[in-house]
Amino acid sequence: MTAATSVRFAHRHLLGVEGLSPDEITLLLDLSESYIKQSRAADKKATLLRGRTIINLFFESSTRTRTSFELAGKRLGGDVINMSAEVSSVKKGETLIDTAMTLNAMHPDVLVVRHPDSGAVKLLSEKVNCAVINAGDGTHEHPTQALLDALAIRRRRGSLQGLTVAICGDIMHSRVARSNIHLLTAMGARVRVVAPPTLLPACIDRMGVEVFTDMRAGLRDCDIVMMLRLQTERMQGSFVPSIREYFRFYGLDYAKLEVAKPDALIMHPGPMNRGVEIDSEVADDIDRSLIREQVEMGVAVRMACLDILTRNLQSNEAAT
């Protein structure tokens, strides 16, 4: 048993970062490291999940999360089924719970679920026998995104402790922001949120962050700049006067980045809207942008999550 696996991960599901201890987060990050190596090798296939069934159930569109969970499951030797709500019986009026119960009857081992409603994944987890991973629920949490972001930062900076991270943009509608705030504060980073007042949720300061409405003030001397997309699909009405105005005041370009630390790293969970929240040149800066590395880390982190949760299933199966 490695040092990483000597910490117990006492959760049947992964529904959020909130509630994970620093040791549990470190366990997942350490385990992910070994899966980076496996993903870079010519032979990427292992047998850890042989005989296990993973269902990706997506009620919202996705490129990175869905593909990386599929790759993660397959690289560990599991059988992976992808289900999109668009082509399922949800279109014929079947409810979330009935869909979950139907899939549960087929004895999957892990359900990976993305849903537009906050709390929907937790509700579903209460109705099934398998492990459930939240692949993003409404504006609530996207735990594997925060874990992959943490892994990308830790690999460049050695530790999260003591770093100043500015999360900028549409904080109000961002599950990525919420999961990152939980994770980064738990791991000893200082978190700032930077947004126009219309895109800041009420009581955000209660999450232990510093709040800025001026981009330059928020970016001053920070180590990491994490940009977020305007989530127009979750907005009713307009939250910014115009895209042009938004980019002028809140879009990340080299002029605004100048006030951050000279070696500050740039992150974005994707999908990016170039010229809206981030300038193309900054996004593609090979020395400072971690965006592609984030995508790579996504597969490793999801392999680690599938590993840990199925390990827990194994202990439960052995006990019954």
What is the 3-class SS of 46-57, one letter each residue?
CCCCCCCEEEEE
CA distance 130 to 123: 13
From 24-32, 58-66, 151-159, 274-282, span contacting ligand CP (CB under 6 A) = 58-66
Residue with tokens 């350490």: 30
Using CA atoms, how far residue 196 sits from 193, 199, 211, 246, in Å, is 10, 6, 10, 9
Q: How many residues bind ligand CP (CB under 6 A)?
A: 9
Nearest Cα to Cα of residue 294 among 270, 259, 277:
270
DSSP letters of 112-166?
A: EEEESSTTHHHHHHTT-SSEEEEEEETTTB-HHHHHHHHHHHHHHHS-STT-EEE
Looking at the Cβ atoms of 125 and 134, the one nearer to ligand CP is 134
* Min dist. Cβ of residue 298 to ligand CP (A): 8
* Min dist. Cβ of residue 233 to ligand CP (A): 11
Per CB under 6 A, contacts with ligand CP among 108-147 are 136, 145
Contact 80, 108 (CB under 8 A): no
Instruction: Report DSSP state, residue 14.
Output: B
* Min dist. Cβ of residue 197 to ligand CP (A): 25
Judged by CB under 6 A, does residue 39 bind ligand CP? no
* Min dist. Cβ of residue 63 to ligand CP (A): 4
* Min dist. Cβ of residue 272 to ligand CP (A): 10
Q: Which of 248, 263, 271, 316 contacts ligand CP by CB under 6 A?
A: 271
Please give the structure tokens belonging to residue 64: 């990175």
Looking at the Cβ atoms of 141 and 212, the one nearer to ligand CP is 141
Looking at the Cβ atoms of 18 and 210, the one nearer to ligand CP is 18
Per CB under 6 A, contacts with ligand CP among 141-160 are 145
From 56-64, 191-199, 200-208, 259-267, span contacting ligand CP (CB under 6 A) = 56-64
Judged by CB under 6 A, does residue 78 bind ligand CP? no
Looking at the Cβ atoms of 4 and 71, the one nearer to ligand CP is 71
From 32-40, 41-49, 100-108, 266-274, span contacting ligand CP (CB under 6 A) = 266-274
Judged by CB under 6 A, does residue 218 bind ligand CP? no
* Min dist. Cβ of residue 232 to ligand CP (A): 14
CA distance 120 to 22: 26
Looking at the Cβ atoms of 192 and 302, the one nearer to ligand CP is 302
Judged by CB under 6 A, does residue 174 bind ligand CP? no
Nearest-10 crossing angle of helices 64-75, 291-319 = 50
Judged by CB under 6 A, does residue 232 bind ligand CP? no
Q: Could you give the angle at the alpha carbon of 179 between the alpha carbons of 272 and 4, nearest 5°?
A: 110
Please give the structure tokens belonging to residue 263: 């070696």
Side chain identity at residue 313, one-letter code = L
Judged by CB under 6 A, does residue 161 bind ligand CP? no
Looking at the Cβ atoms of 213 and 231, the one nearer to ligand CP is 231
Looking at the Cβ atoms of 112 and 212, the one nearer to ligand CP is 112
3-state helix, strand, coil in the chain (%, to 5): 45, 15, 40
What kind and span of H or E run contains 78? none
Q: Which of 32, 39, 65, 179 contacts ligand CP by CB under 6 A?
A: 65
Q: Which of 269, 278, 288, 302 contacts ligand CP by CB under 6 A?
A: 269
Contact 170, 228 (CB under 8 A): yes
**Binding residues for ligand CP (CB under 6 A):** 62-65, 136, 145, 269-271
